[in-house]
Amino acid sequence: MTANDKRWLTVILILAFAARLAVAVLLPDQGFDDARGYRMAGAQLWQGSTMGSTYIMPLYPLLVGLTGGQWGQWLLDAALSTASVWLIHRLAFELFGDRVVALFAAIGMALYPYAVFYAAVGLTEPLFVTLILASFLAWYRGAFTIAAIFTVLAILTRPSIEPLAPLLVVYFGLAVHRLSLRTTLRHLGVYALVYVALMLPWWAHNYAKYGQFVRLNLASGFLLYAGNNPMNQTGGGILFVDWNNIHMNVSDPVAQDRAYRDDAIAYIKQHPGRTLELAWVKFVRFWRLWPYTPQFTAPAYIVMSLVSYLPILLLSLAYLLIWGRAHFVRILPILAFAGCLTAIHTLLVSSIRYRYPIEPFMIVFASFAFVRLLERLRILPASNRSNET
């Protein structure tokens, strides 16, 4: 980066952090059940007991418990969300080698309303997105061990990237960095070792809690059922709205999750047409332009979403259609991540909240398209901006 770029980036980061703290203070408590669950789980872990929840992963609750909640949690989430602004800047430059695109991407992430919102409401998004961005940046730089650490920490926050991670290691090795098969397999082995090492404490916790090995959490069964049952019409996963707790009397949590999974699979087999209809409903809900939840459908929220998300969506699509082919080998891992999240929530339950981890990458793509558009309109001169000093 040039000295001028560093000054601009410093200003952007300061403004991003200030905006996130300000919204955290001014925004009323949204009363999210998940936020309360994370705080409770963190308190339980730091008291030396097992978590009461069966569906929460441990990393964010551990950090929340360490901060003590309230101001400590606000500062943590604001710092994490601000770190994602810096990571977006570096990732954009790593992908395109253009300092102006990188600065526009940082500005976009700093001011993006959803990024500011999620940094203020006590959910896992700031931590998960920061870890995902750090993983991808490390992979693009060829730092496979560092990428493995960040990726497993992301899994310990939310496990949605777990099935994709080994494939990303192989792809980055063979296609992006043109490593030999032997070297790539060695990186895959390192990822496996890091995975086991970092997951062991969580596996020990689960064995103490359930009396058997549980690799992640016990969310997959009930989420599959919540999204695939006769009651679900919206593609969401709200209890008593989209599904009923029909196995609440099953005392063994592992058996309960298995019962939900078995019921969901039976429903899918018996109603393939309805399952496809629900999959389309969930896909549309995942990519819709404004929130579905009634408490966030006021005109102000709709306008905010249209003004912020819609340009990013259109510009990122323009990037993919016009310039994406030239960068296809390098951006394919990002597209795979977006496809993975889309597929998971098209199968399980859907919400624009689950789409949010894709949006920072969309901001990077949109920034490239926006800068090229400014160049074509002769608003911004086309020049060599790729030199790092």
pLDDT of residue 385: 58
Q: What is the mean pLDDT of residues 227-239?
A: 93
Q: Write down the pLDDT at residue 101.
A: 96
With pLDDT > 90 as the criterion, what percentage of the chain qualifies? Answer: 87
pLDDT tens, 274-310? 999 999 999 999 999 999 887 777 888 899 999 999 9
Instruction: Report which of 152, 127, 123, 150 is spatially closest to residue 138, judged by C-alpha positions.
Output: 150
Specify whether the backbone of 97 is left (phi greater than 0), alpha (psi in -120 to 50) or beta. left
Task: Tell me the per-residue pLDDT of 73-127, one tens digit each, with 9 for 90 and over.
Answer: 999 999 999 999 999 999 999 999 999 999 999 999 999 999 999 999 999 999 9
Q: How confident is the model at residue 389 (pLDDT cuts 50, 70, 90)?
A: very low
Mean pLDDT, residues 379-387 taken together:
69
Query: Which candidate, 141, 136, 151, places its Cα nearest to that of 192?
Result: 151
Can you tell me the distance from the alpha carbon of 375 to that of 139, in angstroms, rounded to the nearest whole number? Answer: 30
Q: Structure pTM?
A: 0.95
Residue 386 pLDDT > 80, yes or no? no
User: What is the model's pLDDT at position 253?
Assistant: 95
Is the pLDDT confidence value at 388 over 60? no
Mean pLDDT computed over 341-355: 96
Predicted confidence (pLDDT) at residue 384 exceeds the cutoff of 80: no
